[in-house]
Chain A
């Protein structure tokens, strides 16, 4: 633990009540000294500091006054810490030299120039403040960091509505509020520009309903919870609201934060919470045939009971009830290789409106995690997405390790970051090709995908797979880095770096291409903040949003990443940001290969994870990937919520689309690098045949025997 040197007189102790005794022997008399008042705010700030630092007190007092000083500090409820006294400045300098060997000082707090000299002697941060009128926030800012102040600000903001608060982790604040207070609380956060809405998690903590008497529908007891996660830097503030299970109802926060619309629609469909005031309450994720009143993430959901309702098929050629000319893109369309459905209202070539429908490949993975054990889930979650599979496993493993209180060994952490870097390279190069294809620049598409094969070969050599690398296990990694592979990675990176320079030149100088990207789809910084975009989208609009930098996890503390940012916010900026991020990845991977820590690859994980809940965030290639994991202390999680970066970014494209040319739509969509598999995690397959796990397993074995 690092130490902080705190000067007593004038900073902690207000000795002005005995000023008239100055120079007299009574000045340090016990009765007199004990009457000193602590300086306003001193005790609170020192207690906060003591959580992170060892406090060392120093006073310009004779040695005879040491005992009384200690007594006074204790009486005033200052945290414990060694107390040193020295009458003259020269003596204090000598003292400082001795202290330097005993403690590692992070900073010193004083009021005079000679305190500064003392701090210089210690070689630490020096904070010099005005005597008796200390601005403790300055101390907090420099010694506790801006995250700490962010946490305090959030606490102050939410206090009027808080029914209960807790701080389960150093960077998390959990505030329980009444459902009626939701809007004012969210407004308070929004109005003060404190962070952004990262996700809304629904929870059904209720025990399954008792079997209902014949002829009656089961009514589950208890309440449903909705958790609104706000993030600012490393700090996560969760607003926890309750609503009754029988009549689940909350007010939509879309009026305050329009970007919440997709989150709320997901919450409403999965948990059956009616959100009053939701602008577009139509289905987002569940299929059209899904019966009303069946909510798949409630604990009493029974898949066997689903009776799909018939749906009228809209006749082709009619432009809907509105009479507007609507161009549908997806779920099967050459512009979108993945199934999502966008409807663009057009007037001639100009887009006048846009809407989205997701869920075509929803696979019910969140629900499935609740029926598998912690280890099985690692492999299940990895399959959420084929492009950022490692990041899903990474986020999940980090979260579970946090819950279990286990930390993966440094070598494992480094290998995880390395795999994440390789995945980012392949993802960004893939995106470059797709985006070029959307613009009709086939040559760039072909070239970038040819070069992407280099990193795919590296990944295959390193992990054995081109997709779903399966690098992680809970508590570490299963693959080690060998010199041979390290050499091949270095060779590959050299080649890719050269190519990336070339591509950066192409996208910034090719005139025909620039006509399609420069000034197109501009998302200003304010808009980006308003829509809560994440990842390269946010960084292209001048927002400093990168979990790797703001809240370094795993090995990112050891092998940091430089922030890449552009301010233009148009498509060109999105190209530049992603390409420049590649250079950062190359640098970080080389750095890891050069300084790979030695040691174990795994730490021992318990089979049952202690009860608790945590939030785990990683920066996937597309932006912040958010995992909420809840354990009830068993072998299986109680709830795993996944919020993928694409969901945050969709709403921005729908807003920006209006006023653009239809020809720009594929580019705009590609600009966010959407990943539909990530969003969709549920599907119901109604076949004639239902296989049990055992049958499926046997089929798999037979299949591979051939």
Chain B
């Protein structure tokens, strides 16, 4: 039993198969919503799954001039990192399978591992599109990482804990969204930056650099990267909902809150023109200042007022 539990946790629920399915489902919701906003019909419900299945059966071309070990290993590392985060967040309203003080920091950095793997995969090949894409991915990572982290630590401070479960319980009685609106917006937009969604999709701007860091990927590697991103999306949404939207206590809470966030995300995606990379960096410079300003206010006013 002692062994079976962790195995189930890792392979089926909450990480593993379950979060993969939820990830693909959320990917579909996102695509469908964006399509509706753009006056298109959009994909059928099984399309993301079908894409992944198709990619798994396609030949994986390993181009000349790449280190094959990294080329194959990096997508797996990305997916592994993304799946690990699913163990610590309150998916479907249940407590994280594992938790320890400071797991919030671990989750945030595991999410960055996904992006780092992508960037490394891009710079591992000789393709110019991949190289530029990797550079842009890293540039973007450095610009949003600090404000994103600061935005997630805001709730941690008021809850006096860096443990996701504790913050979640605390948030159940406090809508931190109302006291830290700036943090919420930055966290949500930071997630868009992490997922490279429009308008922060310069790293994979198809009209300039085809698919950015993933240009040379086909078949299995591409499918795994896509799955990692899908998982990242679910975990990110769960984290923001738990921290800012009054916590997640039960499945209805989970689906309602994350889907509302996804609706916002889809809306933002269809509203904007892609930012050039230097515009993205500039945007995040202001975002970092804003979130810092909020911290200063928190410190000045004291935690008593905010909590």
Interface status of B40 (Cβ within 8 A of chain A): yes
Interface status of A211 (Cβ within 8 A of chain B): no
CB distance from A152 to the nearest CB of B (A): 49
Given contacts A317-B65, A446-B40, A661-B278, contact A440 B210 (CB under 8 A): no
Give the distance in Å from the alpha carbon of A664 to the alpha carbon of B207 in the complex: 10
In the bound complex, do residue A512 and residue B199 qualify as a contact, i.e. CB atoms below 8 Å apart?
yes
CB distance from A448 to the nearest CB of B (A): 11
In the bound complex, do residue B208 and residue A317 qualify as a contact, i.e. CB atoms below 8 Å apart?
no
Question: Which B residues from 84 to 136 make CB contacts under 8 A with A?
Answer: 126-129, 132
Interface string of B183-207 (1 = CB under 8 A from A): 0000000000000001101100111
In the bound complex, do residue B272 and residue A512 qualify as a contact, i.e. CB atoms below 8 Å apart?
yes
In the bound complex, do residue A440 and residue B205 qualify as a contact, i.e. CB atoms below 8 Å apart?
yes
Give the distance in Å from the alpha carbon of A438 to the alpha carbon of B205 in the complex: 9
Interface status of A120 (Cβ within 8 A of chain B): no
Give the distance in Å from the alpha carbon of A316 to the alpha carbon of B270 in the complex: 36
In the bound complex, do residue A317 and residue B39 qualify as a contact, i.e. CB atoms below 8 Å apart?
no
Interface status of A35 (Cβ within 8 A of chain B): no
Given contacts A316-B126, A450-B39, A516-B273, contact A442 B198 (CB under 8 A): yes
Give the distance in Å from the alpha carbon of A91 to the alpha carbon of B205 in the complex: 82
Give the distance in Å from the alpha carbon of A199 to the alpha carbon of B15 in the complex: 66
**A interface size (C-beta, 8 A):** 34
Contact partners of B37 in chain A: CB under 8 A: 443
Give the distance in Å from the alpha carbon of A331 to the alpha carbon of B90 in the complex: 48
In the bound complex, do residue B277 and residue A441 qualify as a contact, i.e. CB atoms below 8 Å apart?
no
Interface status of A246 (Cβ within 8 A of chain B): no
In the bound complex, do residue B208 and residue A335 qualify as a contact, i.e. CB atoms below 8 Å apart?
yes
CB distance from B154 to the nearest CB of A (A): 27
Contact partners of A194 in chain B: CB under 8 A: none
In the bound complex, do residue A317 and residue B38 qualify as a contact, i.e. CB atoms below 8 Å apart?
no
Q: Which of B38, B127, B272 contacts A447 (CB 8 A)?
A: B38
Give the distance in Å from the alpha carbon of A513 to the alpha carbon of B199 in the complex: 11
In the bound complex, do residue A328 and residue B38 qualify as a contact, i.e. CB atoms below 8 Å apart?
no
Contact partners of B39 in chain A: CB under 8 A: 446-447, 450
In the bound complex, do residue A334 and residue B38 qualify as a contact, i.e. CB atoms below 8 Å apart?
no
Given contacts A334-B210, A665-B208, contact A439 B273 (CB under 8 A): yes
In the bound complex, do residue B210 and residue A317 qualify as a contact, i.e. CB atoms below 8 Å apart?
no
Give the distance in Å from the alpha carbon of A328 to the alpha carbon of B129 in the complex: 9
In the bound complex, do residue A316 and residue B273 qualify as a contact, i.e. CB atoms below 8 Å apart?
no
Interface status of A563 (Cβ within 8 A of chain B): no
Contact partners of A325 in chain B: CB under 8 A: 128
Interface status of B70 (Cβ within 8 A of chain A): no
Q: Which of A328, A335, A450, A516 contacts B276 (CB 8 A)?
A: A516
Interface status of B275 (Cβ within 8 A of chain A): yes
In the bound complex, do residue B202 and residue A443 qualify as a contact, i.e. CB atoms below 8 Å apart?
no
Interface status of A491 (Cβ within 8 A of chain B): no
Interface string of A417-458 (1 = CB under 8 A from B): 000000000000000000011111111001100100000000
Contact partners of B279 in chain A: CB under 8 A: 515
Give the distance in Å from the alpha carbon of A661 to the alpha carbon of B280 in the complex: 14
Contact partners of A516 in chain B: CB under 8 A: 273-274, 276
Give the distance in Å from the alpha carbon of A297 to the alpha carbon of B200 in the complex: 50
Interface status of A657 (Cβ within 8 A of chain B): no
Contact partners of B209 in chain A: CB under 8 A: 327, 662
Q: Which residue of B lies closest to A332 (CB)?
A: B210
> B residues bordering A, Cβ < 8 Å?
34, 37-40, 63-65, 126-129, 132, 198-199, 201-202, 205-210, 270-279
What are 17 A-B contacts with C-beta separation under 8 Å? A317-B127, A319-B128, A328-B128, A334-B207, A346-B132, A349-B277, A440-B198, A442-B270, A446-B38, A515-B276, A516-B273, A661-B277, A661-B278, A662-B132, A663-B202, A665-B208, A666-B208
Query: Which 4 A-B residue pairs are closest in the complex by CB-CB distance?
Result: A440-B274, A317-B126, A335-B207, A446-B38
> A residues bordering B, Cβ < 8 Å?
316-317, 319, 325-328, 333-335, 346, 349, 436-443, 446-447, 450, 510, 512-513, 515-516, 661-666
Apart from A440-B205, A515-B273, 11 more pairs, CB < 8 Å: A316-B63, A317-B126, A328-B128, A334-B207, A346-B132, A440-B199, A446-B39, A450-B39, A515-B279, A662-B132, A666-B207
